[in-house]
Amino acid sequence: MSSAPRWLAMAEERYAVDPVTGEIVDPETGEVIEDRPISMARDWRAYDSEEFFARARAAKITDAVHDRGLHTRMDLFDVKRRRRVTKAIYRRLAKLNELVRIEKSDREVMAFREMWFYGSLLKLPRVVIERASTIVRKLLKNAKKTWIREIVLASLYAAAKELGVPIVLSDILKFSVDKDRLWLVLRKIYSENLARSVYQDPRMFIDRVATAIDVPPEAIAFARRLVFTALSRGIGVSRSPLTLAAASVYIGANIFGDRRYTQKEIASAAGVGEVSVRNNYMLLLSKLTIDVYL
């Protein structure tokens, strides 16, 4: 005799299940038969990494690899228990399987390897690498091998800028890259609408500058309010967001800090010129009135 509830057996015949709330409802009268039905399916929740890998059945389809993750990997975990001849056969089959996987897509393999490498150096989140991979895949159709590095770095820059991750061109140019090729790839990305050109909020760069030096939390909060007030009044909209953030951190650090911060120290932490910090600092002081109560 089945141990399932009575309403569960009747639900298949006459009752309907609300797809939003999961309630079991009588379609004729509108009566709610059960508002908290117990799911008899297998529980796929994982509370730690061991449970997750134990219950996972397949890898996630992703654009961050050349074959979107749809490949077969031969596991050699049990090879040690087999005979010597069988071990050699298994290793040879695994090697051939890997060669067949990357044989016809050497450009894509090289591009995605470099994308993960530079993405880790730039400390970009995985969502940015996933977005950049879709751009790289479209640009590689008619590209040469010598342009792969420029394509990868330009795609990472465009994807990070679109998703609101703080990044500037100086972060990309610190690598050995051809500037002319990089500009051509960026122009192609935006002309063909492969990525959206989004205005970067200077407040995104405040934490980047503040974490490089010992700045109190009050100074960071003040810098955010200062940048918000300036942008709401149209001040510094055409300026570099990184230099504007550095100037606001410089003002906040010298108001709330327990020591004096120099413009050279702030410029070094932000990776910009000292003159740029000074010009934005003078702009904010000339356009805004800052009252300090001691």
Q: What is the pLDDT of residues 207-237, one digit of tens each?
A: 888 888 888 888 888 889 999 988 888 888 8
On the question of pLDDT at 121 being above 80, the answer is yes
Give the model confidence (pLDDT) of 144-166 as tens digits.
Answer: 778 889 999 999 999 999 998 88
Please give the domain boundaries of the chain with CATH numbers for all domains. Answer: 1-57 (2.20.25), 60-103 (no CATH), 106-191 (1.10.472.10), 202-287 (1.10.472.10)
Task: Give Cβ neighbours of residue 32 (< 8 Å, ≥ 6 apart).
Answer: 23, 24, 25
Q: What is the pLDDT of residues 229-286, one digit of tens each?
A: 888 888 888 888 889 999 999 998 888 888 888 889 899 888 888 999 999 989 888 8
Q: Which long-range contacts (CB under 8 A, 24 or more apart) does 101-110 make?
A: 101/67, 101/71, 102/66, 105/66, 105/67, 107/140, 107/143, 107/145, 107/148, 108/66, 108/137, 108/140, 109/66, 110/145, 110/148
